[in-house]
Amino acid sequence: MAHPGEPHHEDLSERLNWLRAGVLGANDGIVSTAGLVVGVAGATADRTTIFAAGVAGLVAGALSMAGGEYVSVSTQRDTERAALELERRELREMPDEEERELADIYQDKGLSPDLATRVARELTEQDALRAHAEAELQINPDSLTSPWHAAWASLVAFAVGATIPLVAIVLPPNDFRVWACGLAVVVGLALTGVISSKLGASRPWPAVRRNVVVGVLTMVVTYYVGLLFGVTLG
């Protein structure tokens, strides 16, 4: 029995999903923008050029993430709606078969045949669509995922993450800007690694190590690519 003020399981699960998406978006913003600005810094020391490239990358990446999430979640939502509509039709056309199917589901979960039949009947009488949607489809018909929420969450998370390397590379003097950006990126990726591990109830070190290694490798490769182009063009 839930205590007053205790978050409902479905609400908590939904919030955790948004938090995970936000952490992944921020992580992507850090890595991709860091690779971009460090690569440009390898080709030129001009602060305006680096900043312009970073802002362009931030805007393009944030919009791309938002658009991708919107399309993806819209497709998922359309699929969920189609499945719910099929379930409604089956409940209208063959209610007895659907009730037996629901009883079989609860029997497979460990209930006795009599208890499973009684549970299926009572749930069907109370709210047939919800009972079948949650048991068969793992869908809450009253809480379908919003594509707009997903799009905005991804856009904001990416932009926040991308701001870290962008600010870190344009503020310091020329001789320290790449190192400052690298340090800021390592700290940011370590933080997202810790947060993601906490959300997943796992040890933080593996997540931190993965994030940092990927980020550092990205910056090293793109810096030398930019350096190569800078030497060639110069």
Q: How far are the Cα atoms of 29, 57, 106, 164, 192 from residue 151, in angstroms, in the given order? A: 14, 18, 36, 21, 20
Higher pLDDT, 223 or 136: 223
Q: Given a cut of 50, is residue 108 above it in pLDDT? A: yes
Find the radius of gyration of the CA atoms of the chain: 25
Helix, coil or strand: residue 146: coil
Q: Given a cut of 70, is residue 233 above it in pLDDT? A: no
Confidence of residue 7 (pLDDT cuts 50, 70, 90): very low
Most confident of 21-30, 108-117, 156-165: 156-165
Q: What angle (nearest 5°) sits at the alpha carbon of residue 181, between those of residues 206 and 215?
A: 30
Q: Left, alpha or beta for 183 (phi > 0: left; psi -120 to 50: alpha)?
A: alpha
Residues 34/165, Cβ–Cβ less than 8 Å? yes
Helix, coil or strand: residue 59: helix
